[in-house]
Amino acid sequence: MRDAATLNVAMFSPVAPAHGRGGVQDIVWSLAHGLAERGHRVTLVTSEHPNGVGLENVDGVDVRYLPVEARTMALHGAGGAWMRLSRACAHELHRAAPLDVIHSQSFCALHLVNELRGVPVVVSLHGTHVDELRTRAGLLRESLERAPREAPRYAALWLLMLGRFLREGPKVGRAAGVIATSREQRAVLKRHYHVREERLHDVWNGIDTRFFAPAAADPVLRRELAGDAGVPLVLAVARLFQEKGIQHLLRAWPRVLDRVPDARLAIVGDGSYRATLEAQAASLGLARVRFTGTVPLEALPAMYAACDLFVNPTVRINGYDLTILQAMATARAVVVSDIGSVPTAVKDGVDGVLVPPANSVVLAAAITTLLQDPVRRAALGEAARRTVVERFSVEAMIEGTLAVYRQARAAVASVPAEPAPLQAEQA
């Protein structure tokens, strides 16, 4: 479907699909590609390509890669090199074809507010500095209890994020439009970033509900993950970092096996914490836990279809992980942490089950109860699918974002031009 009034959008993001799998990449690409399909002109500007590519067109979206490492962006935010290069890129794009809006995914283009006269900057925050500070404080406490040698690293990361909050936070409220991706995030943006109500907009992250849809399990994949047919299979999909909480799922698993001895656990994903998790599984005697590594996005619907229950035990305080919505869209019952924005996506006992984060005892009980009640699992899965279709579709995300663009443009257009300087009277 093409929109009648097309827009020229420059979207800036620290990461894109070329940098690997992740929630930000998925959301940014779904939005950029969806806008292009509707006939809008979209240029996605991001950090350097792993293979040195400078410019490419992917499915109608022009993607520009600036020579700044994605890892540097993740740790330090929009530093001097990124600010200089992205500012030059914005001016170049505007000269070639006047821009209608600049969209800052996360904080990476806030320095472009008021950079181009008449071009509003809209910002979408995928988690905030406040979320990261709270998460890192929790990880610091955990490391002090279980791995004291790791504590200095988490303390340093906390201080690094505090510096970013002090440097970047005040810029958020200057944007013409600020998109909150959940009710919890809206409250954070109002309280800690002082965003005015008229500039704050609710647009939930969207899932392709045609791609992530209910389907019959592939028997070959099912046997590969679970072994014998009919064996209960629990699935977790996450980047394997400490804040994703898989360690708490592993601690819960012996309790699950006490009541459901033939249950199997498959963990999909990879990351720097994988070796620690595999060692933990071995120390607990969990020989039948399967670490699959990362799989392509195209393979995920089949993974969800193969499982009986999806678990996300994150301890990270931010927006809801997209894997939760993906599993819900495939009509799978979910057990997820009651943390951050997750409760704005999952209603406990209605379309999923919420458990306290980092509590392996309660997590094990929730998993066990659902594995032993297939009727309840099916009811939760059906309700989960309805929730995603009604509230978290890609189409709704695109429509909501376009409405923010147009409101931001109208607000900028209503600001009177600065008067010309008075000229001295001629004698």
Q: Where are the domains of the chain?
A: 8-206+393-412, 219-391
Q: Would you give the end-to-end CA distance of the chain in angstroms?
A: 63
pLDDT of 131 over the 70 cut: yes
Residue 426: pLDDT band (50, 70, 90) is very low
Burial class (CB in 10 A: 0-12, 13-18, 19+), 223: middle
Most confident by average pLDDT, 122-126, 331-335, 423-427 = 331-335
Torsion-angle region of 232 (φ positive above 0: left; ψ -120 to 50: alpha; else: beta): beta
80's enclosing H/E stretch is helix 80-96
pLDDT of 215 over the 80 cut: yes
Is residue 112 within 8 Å of 87, Cβ to Cβ? yes
Report the C-alpha gap between 217 and 383 in whole angstroms: 19
Mean pLDDT of 118-141: 86
DSSP code per residue over 359-384: -HHHHHHHHHHHHT-HHHHHHHHHHH
Q: Selecting from 3.40.309.10, 3.40.50.720, 1.10.3720.10, 3.40.50.2000, what CATH number does the domain 219-391 have?
A: 3.40.50.2000
The tokens for 16 are 């894109």
Report the C-alpha gap between 352 and 336 in whole angstroms: 8
Q: Which of 295 and 76 is assigned the larger pLDDT? A: 295
Report the C-alpha gap between 421 and 63 in whole angstroms: 40
Q: Please report the pLDDT score of residue 8 as a whole number.
A: 97
163 phi, psi to nearest 5 deg: -60, -40
Site of tokens 């992740």: 22
- Residue in 218, 129, 228, 219 with CA at minimum distance from that of residue 171: 129
Report the C-alpha gap between 4 and 406 in whole angstroms: 13
DSSP code per residue over 116-181: STT--EEEE-SS-HHHHHHHHHHHHHHHHHH-GGGHHHHHHHHHHHHHHHHHHHHHHTTSSEEEES
Report the C-alpha gap between 49 and 17 in whole angstroms: 10
In tens, the pLDDT along 329-360 reads 999 999 999 998 899 899 999 999 999 999 99
CATH architecture of 8-206+393-412: 3-Layer(aba) Sandwich (3.40)
Q: Please report the pLDDT score of residue 424 as a whole number.
A: 38
Q: Please report the pLDDT score of residue 4 as a whole number.
A: 53
pLDDT of 179 over the 80 cut: yes
pLDDT of 56 over the 90 cut: yes
The tokens for 248 are 């708490």
3-class state of residue 393 by DSSP: strand
Confirm whether 8-206+393-412 and 219-391 share one CATH topology.
yes
pLDDT of 3 over the 80 cut: no
Mean predicted lDDT score pLDDT of the chain: 90
Q: Which of 181-190, 233-242, 250-259, 268-277 has the lowest mean pLDDT?
A: 181-190
Q: Which of 127 and 366 is assigned the larger pLDDT? A: 366
Q: Name the DSSP letter for residue 218.
A: P
Q: Which of 54 and 227 is assigned the larger pLDDT? A: 54
Q: What is the pTM of this model?
A: 0.84
Report the C-alpha gap between 232 and 154 in whole angstroms: 37
In tens, the pLDDT along 281-332 reads 999 999 889 999 999 889 999 999 999 999 999 998 877 889 999 999 999 9
Report the C-alpha gap between 161 and 176 in whole angstroms: 25
pLDDT of 27 over the 70 cut: yes
Residue 126: pLDDT band (50, 70, 90) is confident
Q: Please report the pLDDT score of residue 119 as a whole number.
A: 96
